[in-house]
Amino acid sequence: MATDNLTTSSVSSDDPSGEVLRQLDAWLDIAWDPQRPLGEWWSLLADEGWGFPSWPVEWFGRGLPSSTARRARIELVHRGALGPPAGIAPFLAAPTLLAHGTDEQLRRFMPGIAKGTDVWCQLFSEPGSGSDLASLATRAELDGDEYVVTGQKVWNTGAQFADWAILMARTDIDQPKHKGISYFAFDMRQPGVEVRPLKEMTGGATFNEVFLTEARVPVANLLGAPGEGWRVAMTTLSHERDNENPAGGGGGGTFIGRPDLSMPVADFMRPDPDHRPDGFEIAMSGGMGELPAKLAREFGRLDDAVTRQQVADLWAHRQLIRLNGQRGKARVKQGQPPGAESSTGKLMSSDLGRKMREVGLAIEGAHGQLMDTDAPHDGLLQAYGLFQPAMSIAGGTDEVQRSIIGERVLGLPKEPDVSRDVAWRDVKVGTQKRD
């Protein structure tokens, strides 16, 4: 827990990350100005590699180990500086591009991601193809040097704001379902793309459904070879299931939308009194971890042995998730494919969210029945709690994660799947048979 309060003054001279943090601190002395335009600040962070320090040097990073990069992010928070852009672009699209993209694709897409000028969304799940993602039915048919894409996607976070999407579509219906999928960087700002926001029980509309009608994507936007989309998607999903978001910024939280890059950074960081953050923003901001302890203190429950044990258990749970994430990253850095660590982390995170909701509401007592500004902390815990069912579904349901762990860790037989080796054209998807 001591690392959460790390400052440059607490770094020993023989700590290899100490010099990195001193360099960051010296740079912030010169560069940090809350009156800078937001776009200019994010560009500075990207150009100097401090926004995403674990990324390669040639692609807006510093090539630092994940542990050192995390300490640099903590230093940003300590200094009160705004971190880099957050969301699907740096969290999912960038790691996938870095692992599978060509130099030409990296030159095209990484600047907009690192500097926050491009917003991305994810077009994976479909009606009838959620947990069984490989059965997806969206088609991409080759037409010269482009693919023509038709289909429907759902649960697409922030799609109403997106410039680009990471898209999985079926390019070969004669192959089994896992082998006929391709992975694209897809232009959301084109004819044939219709986005419909979905109202949630939280009151927000974070998720959407997206209808694609003869939209187009160049062959040059393929990540990996045609038919290798499932392999590429495993990289994306390993990051989606990683609760220790490597792209999380300091001081800025999670912003769902399209920020005004001309506004002063201070205005972007200042809470908007008219904006009530929904459960997704709260869950992804990383700011919930200390709330149960804070509530216990405010409600005079710190001397209650049961409450103290529950709060301590939540802290330990968070540390286990962090350590598990580091283990998964070490595996990938050794050149191994993503393992079951990401599924373990995702399952642990879903469980943690439910425990935080229950412990927090128990501490609040009758106040837990209130909402919004009537509730403690303006209903932060209530909004978070309402979103928890979504967190156990997004990125692969808890049931899917248990199956993966059972197969890859415990050596249990695979789930029965008669369609695994059958050409997709002969497989029933949802309730309808596709031609």
Active site positions, annotated: 240
Query: At 56, which amino acid appears?
Result: P
**CA gap 336, 234 in Å, rounded:** 12
**CA gap 383, 374 in Å, rounded:** 13
DSSP 8-class letter at 176: B
Exposure pattern of 206-234 as b/e (b: 16+ CB <10 Å)? bbbbbebeebbbeeebbbbebbbbbbbbe
Kindly report the CA angle at 233 between 228 and 236, in degrees rounded to 5? 145
Single out the residue of 247, 232, 205, 235 nearest to residue 87, CA to CA. 247
In 206-262 the beta strands, taken as DSSP E runs, fall at 208-218
Residue 395 token pair:
């990125």
Single out the residue of 283, 291, 244, 288 nearest to residue 70, CA to CA. 244
Cβ neighbours, 10 Å, residue 74:
17
Are 123 and 166 spatial neighbours (Cβ–Cβ below 8 Å)?
yes
3 state DSSP class of 221 = helix
